[in-house]
Amino acid sequence: MAYQEEYEKWLNNPYFDEETRKELADLKGNDAEIEDRFYRVLEFGTGGLRGVRGAGTNRMNIYTVRQATQGLANYILKNGGADGASRGVAIAHDSRIMSPEFADEAARTLNANGITTYVFESLRPTPELSFAVRSFGCIAGIVITASHNPREYNGYKVYWEDGAQVTPPHDTGIMAEVSAITDFATCKTMDQDDARAAGLYRVIGTDFDDKYIAEVKKQSIHPEIIPEMAKDMKIVYTPLHGTGNVPVRRVLSELGFTQVFVEPQQKIPDGNFPTVAYPNPESPKAWELALELAKKEDADIIMATDPDADRLGVYAKDTKTGEYVSFTGNMSGMLIADYIMQERKATGTMPENPALVTTVVTTDMAKAICKYYNVDCIEVLTGFKYIGEQIKFFEQTGSHNYVFGLEESYGCLAGTYARDKDSIVAVMMLAEVASFYKKQGKTLWDAMIDLYEKYGYYREGQTTKELKGASGAVEIQKIMDSFRQNPPTELGGLKVLERRDYKIDEKVNNVTGETSKTGLPTSNVLYYQLENDAWCCVRPSGTEPKIKFYFGVKGTSLEDANAKLEVLKNAMVGEE
């Protein structure tokens, strides 16, 4: 019972503050909770930390944040030396409970190691942190956020000098440094006043917001349309108690939108998320208040951003039924992508060797759109950091010019000022797209149907199984092992034409028997290409105790596509 020994260490070691030890003392006798808090050290994964707040090695607290930051500091000093220390680290945080404290803790640990920090004075969107890393010439960045996770979570994401979340070799290098720290007492820290006096703790003020918003606005293609349609285009917006309210309202206002209604109960940042149990634009329950407001104001579109404002969810009115229709991240992303390509081509501003970057679980409509506009479609692993990495590669090699990037999980990026998904620019672009089509007498839903008619009725779905704790982790591994040991030859009545195992970098053509490399980094992901333009994929979540299943089909109508999708889903996970 190693977890019990670790619990006793924390309970009795005066290194841990009195509040922490009291929280643990109150758990005496609750063996299941003690085990969950101490059966492992909260894993520093390829992007950083994410976990439930609280005392213990398997929790987000000042000690696990300090440990992670000491590991990052060690990596910076070993690989960047004095230059890396002086270039420094930019730090931002969202509205979650303990986010300001964790950001301050990270800064002071870096400062104690002689590393300069640039700390935002208050909460900011994650994409603004990405922009700040490059703007200040930092060697790294940190953002304290658990994105769209439930209220009890917080997290810690690490960025590298290109402004994207860390990718190989930096991610594994930092992980190794963090895991090498086995004694929390060896982690350095210092007083904030002393760090400020030494010039190590620097604060980023509101003047930097001006630079960020200016870059976002540069992505607009037809800003002249907005004043024409401003009085007629009604937008309802909710930041879901997160960081998006100020920048979203600002960019829409500066572009000329005048009919913007913010959901009043959700506009104030609040880590308790009092009106939503799950502050995720992908969750239908998160939309209840915004939908009520939209019906009251007869809004054209409704938009919601998650707590750190990197994801965007959308509803739009279908004037034929009078109802509001939910858009997946694939749908909203395709509307923006098609608009950008169509209008860049029409205005003669499409760059040479254009490329759209997407992920292996994002809609295949992206490929159809790219083919139509003669734009290269480049697929990467799940995670926007791989999209950001491609922008860096394009700049290094000159092979392509980035036009747009998106992933199915409600994230996209227009422009290269940032290297992470940005809901602020997504809000702006989608509002512009809606105005563009409204001028033609069309709703956003009409425009989506036009895309289906033009490229095909591509529909996608995702479902998850939540399996918590040590036993859950074992069960997730069993599911992945089962798929590997018994590779399916058909799913939902469709033949498996090709299977890809990104963990062993293997692609198998089931028709010819030919085996080749996937060409992408190692990841615990299984992908199946099926006949009739269908596909499915399974992978463990990197941030939650869940296993995720993805599906995609192409139908002859919405009804046909939805029916095919349901069959494929049941074949993968069973009927619910």
Give catalytic residues, as residue numbers.
147
Peptide bond into 168 cis (omega under 30): no
Sign of torsion over alpha carbons 450, 453, 454, 458: positive
Three-state helix/strand/coil letters over 333-398 = HHHHHHHHHHHHHHHCCCCCCEEEEEECCCCCHHHHHHHHHCCEEEEECCCHHHHHHHHHHHHHHC
The first and second tokens of residue 349, run together, are 């501003």
Q: Which residues contact 365 (CB under 8 A, 6 or more apart)?
A: 330, 334, 451, 455, 456, 458
Dihedral (C-alpha) 41, 46, 48, 49: value to the nearest 10 degrees?
Answer: -40
Asked whether 65 and 156 are in contact (CB, 8 A), the reply is: yes
Residue whose structure tokens are 């089962």: 482
Residue whose structure tokens are 């703790």: 201
The first and second tokens of residue 438, run together, are 């409204």
Single out the residue of 294, 291, 233 nearest to residue 258, CA to CA. 233
Q: Which residues contact 467 (CB under 8 A, 6 or more apart)?
A: 473, 475, 476, 545, 546, 547
DSSP characters for 429-467? HHHHHHHHHHTTT--HHHHHHHHHHHH-EEEEEEEEEE-
Pairing of strands 526-530, 494-501: antiparallel
Chain mean position to CA 231: 33
Pairing of strands 401-407, 354-359: parallel
The first and second tokens of residue 314, run together, are 């959308």
